Amino acid sequence: MNQKTADNPLVSLVIPVYNSMPYLIETLDAIEVQGLDEDQLEVILVNDGSTDGSEKVLAEYAAKHPNYRLINQPNSGGPADPCNKGIAAVTGKYFFVVGSDDVLTKGALGDLAAYAEEHGSDIVLAKMAGINGRHAPGSMFKATKPDAHLVKDSLFNSLTAIKLFRTDLVTKTGAHNPTHLRIGSDQPFTAACYLVAKKISVRADRPFVMIRKRDDGKNVTSRPRTATEYSDLLTALVDEIIRWSDPGEIRDGVLHRPVHGAMRKTLLPRFLDVDEEEQERIISEMQRVVGPHFNDAVAAHLGSLDRVKARLALAGRIDELRALIQWEKDGGKTRLAHGDGGFLLDLPQELVEQIGDEVLHDVKVVGVATLEDLAVENGAISLEASAYVRDAAVAPDDVVLRARIRGSEESVDFPVRQHSATVAGTPGARFHAEFDATGLAEGVWDLYVVQRFGADELENRLGRNRSEDVTDERRLLIDSDRRREVGVAYFTKGYGNLSLDIGYTLLARTGPRAAVAGVLDTGPGGRVALLRTDAPETLQITVQQEGATGTGETAAFVARLEGGLIAVSLPEGSGSIRVANPQGAVVLPLPGPVTFSDERPRVASTPARSGRVVEKGLRAGRGIARRLGVRRPGFLRRR
């Protein structure tokens, strides 16, 4: 890549520095391998009054490189001002801010800039990795995406300025790092740029930046924050979100970050550490900034206890809020009870009377269902599962397994055998369910666990949470009476929930086409299955023991015959055959064996359509007997 924008560089790298030795040298040395020439890259170094030798190192590097610029200033007391000074000085089409103790990986800037040029990106999020145990954000880096969604792709979970930005975004928004914020000052800056960007990309294919936890523990983010600092961050961040967004789904979604982050943390027990006058100021500011936008969708970002505290704060009920936070500080834990009005926060009676039922019923109820075991035999499905409500103090009264046809209200409830149990440290239920899927109508049926608490039902999809013993392969559903496939049990893409596609209405049939033509009893302890399939040379065939669900497989001894038939020798106790090719696998149940006899079968007694088919079958039978070394019965002998 050899690009410039007129006489300006393609990328400006901004590095604010304050007392960063000995890490600074590694940060600066990494600039040499960014895949950009000197006329493509400018480096802006902002020395914020360093006294540990960082100032000398910066001067030496700036003197050696004509594309480096050094800005020296007295210490500003925080990271915001040097970041602002550096960003204001950039002349590149794009800019990137990196910490003075962090390290760009080889070719990172060149790679990110090329990606932005190719896709027209305004911002490119660069995957990070930690050094020395530093946590790196990950929820937004599940996949590389040229055009990512602010909410659906969790971009607001990363509000650090460690990204590639198009410089025009700063001109459009006037975005800056608020200097009164000692920590988190890049969050309002990044939020403003996010909300005006036309296209945001994500690079998740490799780490581009290594972020460091310092050995001396002096990372700027490591100092404990006060309720006042969180409150100030809340105000600054929400103000930017409201300024640059319209009411609706996007705004409600991105408010997750300040509400679940700064607002929730303001109202933790640290709130009681500031004096009452400051508490009142914090609550008044919270009412002004958050109150007009705190709808049910925004409240859903908070857990039960945090939601009740938020309701009290925004209603100005500061005495009740203090009492609830004091209970939490004294060791109170979030627990949910269930009564006539549904679930509610379980508190001491004195607090219940003080706060009132209406607010205490505004809780977040999260059901959890876990698939512990799954077995499919022909069309019969057998499963073990558990269910509970997160933070609940009570177990469900009843549990059922529900199958609902996708896109409709049609559903079927299957009874279960359940018993109360402690699940993940919470009262819940474990249960066993069995049902025959071959009787379901054609369509995609999604499976749910329904927990009943009195007259209330809580429904959760089944399968996303599952035991490691439950493999994600598709399981063939076979009508054993009519010897035909009726569909497949599978786990959905993305969430990985369990569904049944009856009649292959959604999924294309994958894996080999195979069917068991029959099982022959070849003598004491011996059985041979006749397998009819396409392309037999591409198959892997294993035998599963009776009742196995993906384990207990053994390689099969096979003999490939004419006409696409395969003879499979069956060990004692075999229950099914697994047939796989590169596209997938099917598991075929075994019918009961047929014993050889000396009676020659009549053509009228076979479902074959012509004498040629019968003769073909007889030739195959003689081949089996010859290859497996068994004595041919009379009806297989040539006449």
For residue 130, give the CATH number of its domain.
Answer: 3.90.550.10
Residue with tokens 């876990």: 370
| CA–CA separation, 401 and 397 (whole Å) | 14
Distance, CA of 158 to chain centre: 16
Report the 10 Å Cβ neighbour count for 595. Answer: 9
Non-local (6+) Cβ contacts of 146 within 8 A are 115, 119, 121, 199, 201
Q: Assess whether 429 and 490 both reside in one domain.
A: yes
Tokens of 602: 């009549």
Using DSSP bridges, classify how beta strands 200-203 and 94-97 pair: parallel, antiparallel or unpaired: unpaired
For residue 461, give the CATH number of its domain.
Answer: 2.60.40
How large is the average pLDDT for residues 78-92? 95
Q: Assess whether 377 and 444 both reside in one domain.
A: yes
What are the phi and psi torsion angles at 230 (to 5°)?
-65, -40
Which letter, b or e, does each residue of 117-147 get, where b requires 16 or more Cβ atoms within 10 Å of its Cβ?
eeeebbbbbbbbeebeebeebeebbeeebbe
Distance, CA of 585 to chain centre: 26
How large is the average pLDDT for residues 376-396? 95
pLDDT for residue 220 is more than 90: no
pTM: 0.76
Distance, CA of 174 to chain centre: 35
In contact, 328 and 305? CB cutoff 8 Å: yes
Residue 495 located in a structural domain: yes
Residue 473 located in a structural domain: yes
In this prediction, residue 610 carries a pLDDT of 36
Q: Assess whether 427 and 494 both reside in one domain.
A: yes
In this prediction, residue 377 carries a pLDDT of 87
In this prediction, residue 608 carries a pLDDT of 39
CA distances (Å), origin 26, targets 33, 102, 352 = 12, 8, 57
Q: Assess whether 397 and 252 both reside in one domain.
A: no
pLDDT for residue 636 is more than 90: no
pLDDT for residue 442 is more than 50: yes
Range with the poorest average pLDDT among 72-76, 186-190, 362-366, 592-596: 592-596
Tokens of 477: 């559903």
Could you tell me the residue range of the domain that residue 248 belongs to?
227-330
pLDDT for residue 420 is more than 70: yes
CA distances (Å), origin 117, targets 112, 121, 164, 353 = 9, 7, 12, 61
Using DSSP bridges, classify how beta strands 209-212 and 103-104 pair: parallel, antiparallel or unpaired: antiparallel
Sign of CA dihedral 399, 402, 407, 410: negative
Question: In the structure, what pLDDT confidence band is assigned to residue 19 with cuts at 50, 70 and 90?
Answer: very high
**Average pLDDT score over the chain:** 89
Q: Assess whether 63 and 141 both reside in one domain.
A: yes
Residue 1 located in a structural domain: no
Domain boundary among 184, 212, 240: 212
Q: Assess whether 487 and 615 both reside in one domain.
A: no
Q: Assess whether 47 and 91 both reside in one domain.
A: yes
In this prediction, residue 216 carries a pLDDT of 66
In this prediction, residue 625 carries a pLDDT of 58
In this prediction, residue 169 carries a pLDDT of 97
Percentage of the chain with pLDDT > 90?
A: 70
Work out the end-to-end distance of the chain between its first and last CA atoms, rounded to an integer number of angstroms.
80
How large is the average pLDDT for residues 519-548? 80
Range with the poorest average pLDDT among 18-22, 245-249, 552-556: 552-556
In this prediction, residue 602 carries a pLDDT of 47
Task: Tell me how many degrees the CA angle 79-84-90 measures, rounded to the nearest 5.
Answer: 130
How many C-alpha atoms does 357 have within 13 Å on its Cβ side?
Answer: 7
What are the phi and psi torsion angles at 624 (to 5°)?
-60, -50
* Comparison of pLDDT for 6 and 158, the residue scoring more: 158
Total tally of structural domains belonging to the chain: 4
In this prediction, residue 611 carries a pLDDT of 44
Range with the poorest average pLDDT among 89-93, 167-171, 288-292, 623-627: 623-627
In this prediction, residue 207 carries a pLDDT of 95
**Residue 499, beta-bridge partner list:** 446, 490
Q: Assess whether 195 and 232 both reside in one domain.
A: no
In this prediction, residue 14 carries a pLDDT of 97
In this prediction, residue 108 carries a pLDDT of 97
> Which of 418-422, 484-488, 514-518: highest mean pLDDT?
418-422
| CA–CA separation, 428 and 451 (whole Å) | 9
pLDDT for residue 221 is more than 80: no
Residue 458 located in a structural domain: yes
In this prediction, residue 609 carries a pLDDT of 39
Residue 535 located in a structural domain: no
Residue 471 located in a structural domain: yes
* Comparison of pLDDT for 557 and 270, the residue scoring more: 270
Q: Assess whether 137 and 50 both reside in one domain.
A: yes
Residue 129 located in a structural domain: yes
CA distances (Å), origin 533, targets 243, 561, 562, 567, 571 = 65, 11, 11, 11, 21
Domain boundary among 153, 179, 212: 212
Q: Assess whether 414 and 485 both reside in one domain.
A: yes
Q: Assess whether 235 and 208 both reside in one domain.
A: no
Domain boundary among 274, 307, 330: 330
Q: Assess whether 51 and 156 both reside in one domain.
A: yes
Residue 624 located in a structural domain: yes
